[in-house]
Structure 1
């Protein structure tokens, strides 16, 4: 709590913090957290001229300093609204949208574009590792802290996630097909007949007719 930080740095001048805690809480009633923390930091750093530097201010002094800080912040807000009104040339400055309104508008835009909510992520960097698995057209909406699919993905069937059992079954089927193909190759090599190489046989030499030659020789001799 901011008051505890203040009392650790600057103890009260009279009494102890426990006895004065109720008075300080009354002094901080209806004060913004930002104003209380800003005043405590300024007191510890000694930036408030009219406040003591060696001990904590009284509840009334602390309440006055906090309300001065709240008035300063409100003046800054009014000046910013006036500058916006001048720049936009509007008769009345546009009211700032709250976080809930901006988140609702972003969610309505995603629904109008038909984008499916994929998963939530605290920041863009936290989901950077999963970005490569997203479909083209997916976007990250920072105010909603979530990834949304491409336009029209809300009306498309959601893809079924691939489980580890499916991957293992596909791997086993692939290995079985490869094993069957190898067995078929081995079986074909085992039963293929080897080519036979028989020696060529020379054709029989043509026999010459000897008898007629001898007969003609005898015919030339006359007895």
Structure 2
């Protein structure tokens, strides 16, 4: 169901800008997102990902969105089921491939609050993290796979091909892995355009309906 709301807060968070909305969400999980549209400024629908839960729930503001506090948005979501594997493991390896997009932040925060051990593989050093999180680098993948109980990844869909060999190494390790794939989304799940689709072993899956978190072993490389 679609709702109308407005932007109540815009704040900086490392290299990201986050927004909070006046609408109250009863629950949202790491890896879930909202599909939003600003009728006065946008020419397309935009997915915004859950990024932080402090005094309020915050979402990543797209860098090309010219939004301001008080802007009216039409919203649908949360979409998808989000991440789920991490509940069952103590050692969590999070990986932002090529750059951080903010979608792993809430799962990192939640894992730390649950007393889990978290390592974060990222090239960008301007990220805001709990003090207990260890930053590691892509060249240390094999070493960290020996330690990790599960792996959580975020990546843009356009970068899947260039990261294929890296992802295959994780897949071949046999470690349970979930991957958040950022896709362009042009509808609220009602169309058959397939623009947002992800190729899996069972065929093309529309992320506008399914969500953008997949098990790595579901994907067709």
The TM-score bracket by the shorter chain reads: under 0.3
Higher relative contact order (CA 8 A, sep 6+): 2
Give the alignment's TM-score, normalised by structure 2: 0.18
**Higher normalized helix content (fraction of residues):** 1
Give the alignment's TM-score, normalised by structure 1: 0.18
